[in-house]
Amino acid sequence: MSRPPPGPRLHPAHWPLGASGLTGQLLVLLVLLLLALRAVIGANCPCQEPKLCLPISHHPDYEVFVFDVGNKAWKSYDWSQITTLATFGKYDPELMCYAHLKGARVVLKGDVSLKDIIDPTFRASWIAQKLELAKAQYMDGINIDIEQEVNYSSPEYYALTALVKETTDAFHQEIQGSQVTFDVAWSPKCIDTRCYNYTGIADSCDFLFVMSYDEQSQIWSECIAAANAPYNKTLSGYDDYIKMGINPKKLVMGVPWYGYDYTCLNLSKDHICTIAKVPFRGAPCSDAAGRQVPYKMIMKQVNSSVSGSQWNIEQQAPYYNYKDQLGQFHQVWYDDPQSISLKAAYIKNHGLRGIGMWNANSLDYSGDATAKQQTEEMWEVLKPKL
């Protein structure tokens, strides 16, 4: 939003004297301060209050890292908790202004082909472009989301670590208080052939966002439907990261606000749902046999399902069965406040940096009484238990 040019500057030598002169001096100082602020943040700040275009500088003790994929759902988020919002949808200046008003960072999405970043010149150019974009949009950093295959000691292995360090150095130098984060799989054990230099990357950025979901992307045992983020499997991943020497304060737990809907080739009396064999990166089966379903859709369907919500003790996760219009049985696995709270207890017990989710748009913000309660409960479970 452009503003009219400021009026003529008054040289201190021409300030009037006396009480009225003091008032004049204060007014001129105020004008000079506003001019200085405008110079710092630029003339195109979209916020009504120019100070909202300044970067967030404080660092919270507990991180609540939120992914947003677009539209205006963000207006209904629980901003009393959010510390960082990663924008994976279209840039919304109104969102940036509101987040800054609430003291929350807003960060870019960073994605790039690993083959390209082997070239140091390309890396420097990519970083410069992202930095320029962050400044133009008054962002507070970048979330690097590169979920591509990497082999140990390959050129990509070293280039990726270099990219993270160089990006962090550039952002920290150019944007005061900025944050650079990197998304990793639920376990460091080469999940989906992502054999990254995890310790090096953790050392090179502010923290890792651990994507503790899609844990059935490679199914090596029976081809049956299972939890998106089973309790023991999820927490074993954090144990492994910490055993590698990564500081727990460098780890943010990511939880899913979505589930998987599987078509059952056969559904046993014991609720065992056999699924189609869809290979993925060497594994005979995968969650690609199902489809992702947001929590808001799950909540609309579960009560009318043939089984109602069931609880699997071994995986510490809920699921239900339903029959589609063609008479085919389906099984839906998901996370709810109960399953998330069990995993979230690990954060406090092991000193992790915080929690986050994919993604905040998955809840029902319609205002319906039942939906409102369900949505509030999902946000509430993110708070650390004292």
What are the structural domain ranges in the chain?
A: 1-44, 53-380
- In whole angstroms, what is the distance from residue 308 CA to residue 306 CA? 6
* pLDDT band of 3, cuts 50, 70, 90: very low
Residue 238 and residue 251 in contact, taking contact as beta carbons nearer than 8 Å: yes
pLDDT tens-digit readout, 197-245: 999 999 999 999 999 999 999 999 999 999 999 999 999 999 999 999 9
Q: Quick one: average pLDDT of 294-318?
A: 98
Q: What is the pLDDT of residue 19?
A: 47
Classify residue 41 by its DSSP letter.
H
Q: What is the pLDDT of residue 40?
A: 55
Q: Quick one: average pLDDT of 147-157?
A: 97
- Going by their DSSP bridges, the two strands 329-333 and 317-323 should be labelled as antiparallel
Residue 108 has pLDDT above 90, yes or no: yes
266 vs 2, more confident: 266
What does the mean pLDDT of the chain come to?
92
Q: What is the pLDDT of residue 36?
A: 57
- Rounded to the nearest angstrom, the gap between the alpha carbon of residue 63 and the centroid of all alpha carbons in its chain is 11
377 vs 19, more confident: 377
Residue 64 and residue 81 in contact, taking contact as beta carbons nearer than 8 Å: yes
Residue 354 and residue 252 in contact, taking contact as beta carbons nearer than 8 Å: yes
Residue 325 has pLDDT above 80, yes or no: yes
Tokens of 50: 């120019």
Classify residue 197 by its DSSP letter.
-
Tokens of 281: 């990166």
Q: What is the pLDDT of residue 5?
A: 46
Classify residue 385 by its DSSP letter.
P
Q: What is the pLDDT of residue 4?
A: 45
Q: What is the pLDDT of residue 15?
A: 41
Q: Considering the chain, what percentage of its residues have pLDDT values greater than 70? A: 90
Classify residue 6 by its DSSP letter.
P
Q: What are 280's strand-pairing partners?
A: 283
Q: What angle do CA 247, 113, 133 make, to 5 degrees?
A: 80
- pTM recorded for the entire structure: 0.89
E strand or H helix that includes residue 320: strand 317-323
Residue 142 has pLDDT above 80, yes or no: yes
Count CB-CB contacts under 10 A for residue 1: 10
The torsion of the CA quartet 156, 287, 210, 282, rounded to 10 degrees, works out to -30
1 vs 327, more confident: 327
Q: Quick one: average pLDDT of 99-126?
A: 98
- In whole angstroms, what is the distance from residue 219 CA to residue 139 CA? 39
Alpha-carbon distance values, 134 to 129, 151, 154, 314 (Å): 9, 31, 30, 45
Can you tell me whether residue 277 is helix, strand or coil? coil
Residue 372 has pLDDT above 90, yes or no: yes
Count CB-CB contacts under 10 A for residue 144: 24
- In whole angstroms, what is the distance from residue 252 CA to residue 107 CA? 16
Q: What is the pLDDT of residue 39?
A: 53
- In whole angstroms, what is the distance from residue 359 CA to residue 69 CA? 7
Q: What is the pLDDT of residue 385?
A: 80
Query: CB-based contacts of 223: which residues, under 8 Å, 6+ apart?
Result: 274, 275, 276, 277, 284, 285, 289
Q: What is the pLDDT of residue 29?
A: 74
Tokens of 140: 């507070």
Q: How many CA atoms lie within 13 A of 202 on its CB side?
A: 21
* Domain 53-380 top-level CATH class: alpha beta
* pLDDT band of 179, cuts 50, 70, 90: very high
9 vs 150, more confident: 150
Residue 287 has pLDDT above 80, yes or no: yes
- The catalytic residue among 94, 132, 147, 314 is 147
Q: Quick one: average pLDDT of 118-140?
A: 98
Classify residue 207 by its DSSP letter.
E
Tokens of 10: 């008054």
- In whole angstroms, what is the distance from residue 16 CA to residue 13 CA? 9
Active site (annotated) includes residue 156: no
Tokens of 126: 């990519």
Among positive and negative, which fits the CA dihedral 289, 292, 296, 297?
Answer: negative
Q: Helices marked H in 244-308 — which ranges?
A: 295-301
Tokens of 229: 């983020």
* pLDDT band of 69, cuts 50, 70, 90: very high
Q: Quick one: average pLDDT of 151-179?
A: 98
pLDDT tens-digit readout, 8-49: 444 444 444 444 556 667 766 765 665 555 555 557 999 999
E strand or H helix that includes residue 87: strand 84-87
